[in-house]
Amino acid sequence: MIEAIYQFPESFLWGTATSAHQVEGQNTNNNWSAWEAEPGRIINGDRSGLACDWWNGRWEEDLQNAARDGQNAHRFSVEWSRIQPASDQWDESALEKYRMLLKGMRRLGLTPVVTLHHFTDPLWIYERGGWENDETPKYFEKFVRKVVDAFKDEVKLWVTLNEPNGLVVNSYIGGQFPPGKKDFRAAFKAIKNLIRGHAAAWHAIHDLQAKAMASYALYYRGFFPKNSWSPLDILATRSLKGSVNEVFSNAIEDGQVKFALYKDFIREAVGTQDYVGIQYYSSDMVSFNPFKPGELFTSRCCPPGVAQSETGFMSSFPAGMTQALKWARQFNLPIYITENGVEDSTDALRPAYLAQHLHKVWRAANFNYQVKGYFHWSQVDNFEWERGWSQRFGLWELNPVTQKRTRRRSADLYAAICKENGISSAAIRQFAPEVFDILFPS
């Protein structure tokens, strides 16, 4: 019987990730609260409501569970609309609540990673045009300075923007996020202002905290040509990679912003990255389609023969994690997987998904990639934006009505991995036997 372990580097960060609007509850002063109130915007008419009730203190229960299971870090976001409810107003009591959360994390032995913008904008920003407004980067910088100055004694790892590429795609091309536009020109304007906002935030953080580590968290989608022999499919795949995965990273490398047919240059963005934050979930097979200009002349489908999540929203394709890490390595910076997970209310797919994707992370670390940490999405089921409560990503199940938490089998697997700082054959045999022979071939 095989007995082995894939050991991770010492000081590796193991955690879960959350975001303010998705877990706090009772956020009523941001663009997402307004969006939820519009009929037809959210699947099943769901509302975030209490979410996971973190604003009333339930964070302590969830993070105690995380620490008990061997996690040593947690990534969360602060809600801009709570801290700055109006352009000329700061709420010191909100800052104090977040300070209590940070101190609580420290007591539990959890290294905090703080995200400064996770999809939501205060209503006063939204009503002024959101990220299409050229003044928004300046407002964001002012907010960042307030937060960093307040928490710099507790936090060393910062995420400026969560998935700015995903935000643009969903807000200005697909229309699923507020403001619900399908306009490439508006998308390009938002891209430029998000890059400026990130750059301003990065410089502000380093003004206040010289030794801080700051970057943005990129939504990395795996793209592979459907027909590897087809030059058109290969070109279509490269086009999607460039438009979805590389616009922001290119701007940070050389200041060049290229999206669809639009181009610009943002000098202040160059070099504003201390690590690479990767958020990988799923991959697509890409083919050229001349009848889909709105999708950059591409069609996409799930890779053949792989497990799909229960709603068909994503596939389990660990090769995409390898592609993401290879892409991240080019920057010669530390790498953090700031999100990875799968929707799975029955917990039938998640253990195998988790084991196989973490094995790819281990392989990269074993080949001397600078992989420093992994944050699973998420600790507990939460409100999943336009998909409401129809998707469940938690290691723990949540009943949003009763607020009851129920432990899933994948929580046991992740706990074993965190406590051992590695993937053991014993843990896989117990919690994900269906992939044992893949991870530990005889």
Domain ranges of the chain: 10-408
Q: Which CATH number fits the domain 10-408, given the four candidates 3.40.50.970, 3.40.1010.10, 3.20.20.80, 3.90.1150.10?
A: 3.20.20.80
| pLDDT tens-digit map of 155-184 | 999 999 999 999 999 999 999 999 999 999
- Does the predicted TM-score (pTM) go above 0.85? yes
pLDDT at residue number 259: 87
Q: Using CB atoms within 10 Å of the CB of residue 96, give its burial: 0 to 12 exposed, 13 to 18 middle, 19+ buried.
A: exposed
Share of the chain above pLDDT 70, in %: 100
| Mean pLDDT within 294-323 | 91
Is a pLDDT exceeding 80 seen at residue 302? yes
- H or E element, residue 70: none
| Mean pLDDT within 276-282 | 98
**Whole-angstrom Cα distance, residue 272 to residue 212?**
12
| Mean pLDDT within 4-15 | 97
pLDDT at residue number 99: 98
Assign 223 a pLDDT band (cuts: 50, 70, 90).
very high
Of 332, 160, 186, 191, which is closest to residue 253 (Cα–Cα)? 332
| pLDDT tens-digit map of 373-399 | 999 999 999 999 999 999 999 999 999
Q: Using CB atoms within 10 Å of the CB of residue 40, give its burial: 0 to 12 exposed, 13 to 18 middle, 19+ buried.
A: exposed
Average pLDDT, the chain: 96
| pLDDT tens-digit map of 104-163 | 999 999 999 999 999 999 999 999 999 999 999 999 999 999 999 999 999 999 999 999
Residue spans of alpha helices (H) in 169-230: 184-208
Q: Which amino acid is at 208?
A: L
Is a pLDDT exceeding 80 seen at residue 1? no
pLDDT at residue number 293: 81
Asked if residue 424 lies in contact with residue 432, where contact means CB atoms within 8 angstroms, the answer is no
**140: number of CA atoms within 13 Å, CB side?**
28
Is a pLDDT exceeding 90 seen at residue 324? yes
With vertex at residue 86, the alpha carbon angle to CA 219 and CA 97, rounded to the nearest 5 degrees, is 70
Is a pLDDT exceeding 90 seen at residue 2? no
pLDDT at residue number 55: 98
Is a pLDDT exceeding 80 seen at residue 267? yes
